[in-house]
Chains A and B, each alone.
Chain A
Amino acid sequence: GDSVTQMEGPVTLSEEAFLTINCTYTATGYPSLFWYVQYPGEGLQLLLKATKADDKGSNKGFEATYRKETTSFHLEKGSVQVSDSAVYFCALGNTGGFKTIFGAGTRLFVKA
């Protein structure tokens, strides 16, 4: 079945460092891919999405490119801030049904 695998955390970075959080997926068909962010005490909120191969989603300085050849959707940001500290979830939209498949989440800590 469809699945999402993302790198384990926590990831700890200093402010202004470069961020990469790896995400790979297994799916039939052509799923949409998402990154969600969860700040402490809150629910998940959509960060960015891509709906087809080679699409790049971007928001708030974060980017991710839908790579069908490597079945990947890695999240990147050039310069992280303390306010980016959160848990990040990679997710896959199930094209055959009604569900979204979520990765286990990666916790990011950014130090001042």
Chain B
Amino acid sequence: NAGVTQTPKFRVLKTGQSMTLLCAQDMNHEYMYWYRQDPGMGLRLIHYSVGEGTTAKGEVPDGYNVSRLKKQNFLLGLESAAPSQTSVYFCASSYPGTGNQPQHFGDGTRLSIL
């Protein structure tokens, strides 16, 4: 029972490098989300998607891009990594609903930018 799977689990980048974080879910969820978690700041929404082929900005979208080409996958890209993007990144998914559906989270990607 995989649920939400994030790859990679850890990564160290140098400033200016690019990378893509992959999120895959096997629950046939319509909605998917990317968050970052920083000490003392809780979870902040980066981008989200309400269906295949759709994406929307969250509260901290700058420096990130996303794509949802397949329903089960949601990719988060960093085109030119900056030290301020050092964080733990979480992907989540849920069924559609008027805010009453819980989100299911992956175990996170720990990203360090040197």
Instruction: Determine if chain A interacts with chain B.
Output: yes
Cβ of B50 and Cβ of A98 under 8 Å apart? yes
If the complex has contacts A43-B107, A43-B108, A99-B45, are A104 and B40 also in contact, measured as CB distance less than 8 A? yes
Contact A93 B99 (CB under 8 A): yes
- A98 engages B48 (CB within 8 Å): yes
Per-position binary interface string of chain B over residues 25-65, scored 1 when its CB falls under 8 Å from any chain A CB and 0 otherwise? 00000010100000011110100101000001010000000
Instruction: Let me know if A12 is at the binding interface, CB within 8 A.
Output: no
From A47, which residue of chain B is reached at the shortest CB distance? Answer: B102
Chain A residues touching B, range: 20 to 34
Beyond A51-B100, A89-B43, A104-B41, is A98–B105 a contact (Cβ under 8 Å)?
A: no
Interface residues of A in 57-112 (CB under 8 A from B): 89, 92-100, 102-105
A34 proximal to B (CB < 8 A): yes
| B74 on the A face (CB < 8 A) | no
A32 to B48, CA, bound (A): 20
Nearest opposing residue in chain B for A103, CB measure = B42
Interface residues of B in 57-114 (CB under 8 A from A): 58, 90, 92, 96-108
Is A105 in contact with B42, judged by CB distance below 8 angstroms? Answer: yes
The interface residues of chain B, by DSSP majority, are classed as loop
Report which of A32, A94, A97, A102 forms a contact with B43, defined as CB distance below 8 A: A102
Given contacts A43-B4, A89-B42, A102-B43, contact A95 B99 (CB under 8 A): yes
Determine if B105 and A45 form an interchain contact, defined as CB atoms under 8 angstroms apart.
Answer: yes
Q: Among B40, B92, B104, B105, find the residue whose CB has the most chain A CB atoms closer than 10 A.
A: B105
A93 touches B90 (CB 8 A): no
A-B contact pairs, 21 of them (CB 8 A): A32-B100, A43-B90, A43-B92, A43-B106, A43-B107, A44-B43, A45-B105, A46-B103, A46-B104, A89-B43, A94-B99, A95-B98, A98-B31, A98-B99, A99-B33, A99-B58, A99-B99, A100-B99, A102-B43, A104-B40, A104-B41
Q: Using a CB–CB distance below 8 Å, which chain A residues touch chain B?
A: 31-32, 34, 41-46, 49, 51, 89, 92-100, 102-105
